[in-house]
A and B are shown apart, each in its own frame.
Chain A
């Protein structure tokens, strides 16, 4: 006899049922003059450069929600594995979760096989997942890492396309950053020169693009290890206000006050003597 309230095991993977519901809801909401909540986007400038000793990744730190700055110090360079980091542009939640998922998968793989994951493996996993969701996951990623085969830099687009190039920029400030990279990139650069180039590229994105701003984060990946410098450069604009805006206690009016005493029952009493010497 089957139990009447047996829970059905869900089908594996994600389901797309909510997509059609969301489209319908959006239509209803717009008609009723209310706006659907907008997902927070990173409206970003991210860049990566392959140099002689490793890979340098850079990102700005502004996250926008429409035209309002939602986060002034958000971290866009995500950890994937000890030898790989990933910058993300697009919908903030999508980049966070996708890179977390990738990181977990690669950790399991490392434990199973006893090897460090290769960058191509990470890229293939990302491409597979993003293509499966047909662009519904709005994540543009720059994946950089160093493994036994060398220094690699890849970009994965939201629809699942990949590109393997020595220098890259993504996000809303990509054209500004790419201008700097196209001008000054040389193959096999020194580390310091590469860091300066990435810093300048992100800076150009910050100044020319309204969706990017605030500070610059840099992540340097080499065979010896990773140097995650956050922030590499703080924004030179300090908000110095001329007056102090403090409110004394009592400024907010108390309209009603209700005190509810907690009725406690003594269930057990233990006395422990303290040695007061």
Chain B
């Protein structure tokens, strides 16, 4: 007595024993889960993502990180529909190469962010179902985080969470990094070590309560010396 699963049109599973009329339509989108996080410090930036790729209630892969290295000073994290994530990163890579050949220098983080915004808006009426966060160093060597919505609206932030567990992580970051809703607390600047510890703790919490987040955590730390990658195991269930 097995009940087949019925998918809603965004790929998220419908009610387990769904009764009533079901319209079967082809949806070009699917939701593959995943959470991305970026934090900007004084002279560093951290982009972290979990490595689980899921669909409905199943797991496609336990080792599919969502951070992609663009240049020596910029990393992008993309979560949402995996097909669009792959295509978008390919397009960005191609545009980076074209810029390098025309202008004889690498694109800066700010420039990449502006370009991504126009790429996303170019598909305003059939959007890339991707939640992007760019983390890197700006021209002065300070950490920069740019967060996007699926159609290209962006802003520069100090910290941002995106993806399936973003609603759980963002308030925690607001409190711990932005010192919001706290009184009488010293506003110490965030050191790289503390930021990495915070990111690890925050993902452990996300994996506890969000079913789409888990398996492993990939952290990319961007400094003037280059990009360092670290992998930390998370809950696999």
Residue A105 lies at the interface, judged by CB distance under 8 Å to chain B: no
User: How far apart are B223's CB and chain A's nearest CB, in angstroms?
Assistant: 20
Q: B201 — which chain A residues lie within 8 A by C-beta?
A: 241-243, 245
- Cβ–Cβ contact A155 & B1, under 8 A: yes
Tell me the bound Cα distance from A64 to B212 in angstroms.
12
- Cβ–Cβ contact A138 & B17, under 8 A: yes
Tell me the bound Cα distance from A253 to B185 in angstroms.
11
User: How far apart are B215's CB and chain A's nearest CB, in angstroms?
Assistant: 10
Chain B: residues with Cβ within 8 Å of the partner, total of: 35
User: How far apart are B152's CB and chain A's nearest CB, in angstroms?
Assistant: 23
Q: B235 — which chain A residues lie within 8 A by C-beta?
A: 213, 235, 237
CB-CB under 8 A for A251 and B182, given A158-B17, A209-B57: yes
Binding site secondary structure of chain B: loop
Contact string against B for A residues 146-172, beta-carbon threshold 8 Å, 1 for contact and 0 otherwise: 000000000101100101000000101
Q: Which of B15, B57, B183, B212 contacts A252 (CB 8 A)?
A: B183
- Cβ–Cβ contact A250 & B184, under 8 A: yes
CB-CB under 8 A for A43 and B237, given A69-B211, A163-B1, A174-B2: no
Tell me the bound Cα distance from A157 to B201 in angstroms.
41
Tell me the bound Cα distance from A90 to B17 in angstroms.
8
Q: Which of B173-211 contact A (CB under 8 A)?
A: 176, 181-185, 194, 197-198, 200-201, 204-205, 208-211
Q: A163 — which chain B residues lie within 8 A by C-beta?
A: 1
- Cβ–Cβ contact B1 & A41, under 8 A: no
Tell me the bound Cα distance from A68 to B209 in angstroms.
6
**Which residue on A lies nearest to B235, using beta carbons?**
A237
- Cβ–Cβ contact A250 & B183, under 8 A: yes
Tell me the bound Cα distance from A247 to B237 in angstroms.
31
Residue B124 lies at the interface, judged by CB distance under 8 Å to chain A: no
Binding site secondary structure of chain A: loop
- Cβ–Cβ contact B16 & A41, under 8 A: yes
Q: B54 — which chain A residues lie within 8 A by C-beta?
A: 210
Tell me the bound Cα distance from A235 to B234 in angstroms.
12
Tell me the bound Cα distance from A209 to B59 in angstroms.
7
- Cβ–Cβ contact B16 & A243, under 8 A: no
Residue B58 lies at the interface, judged by CB distance under 8 Å to chain A: yes
Residue A103 lies at the interface, judged by CB distance under 8 Å to chain B: no
CB-CB under 8 A for A247 and B182, given A161-B1, A206-B237: yes
Q: Which of B1-52 contact A (CB under 8 A)?
A: 1-2, 5, 12, 15-17, 19
Residue A214 lies at the interface, judged by CB distance under 8 Å to chain B: yes
- Cβ–Cβ contact B197 & A243, under 8 A: yes
Residue A184 lies at the interface, judged by CB distance under 8 Å to chain B: no
Residue B236 lies at the interface, judged by CB distance under 8 Å to chain A: yes
Q: A252 — which chain B residues lie within 8 A by C-beta?
A: 181-183
Residues of B within 8 A of A (CB): 1-2, 5, 12, 15-17, 19, 54, 57-59, 164, 176, 181-185, 194, 197-198, 200-201, 204-205, 208-212, 234-237
Which 7 residue pairs across A and B have the least CB separation, nearest first?
A: A213-B237, A210-B211, A237-B235, A253-B183, A241-B201, A242-B197, A206-B237
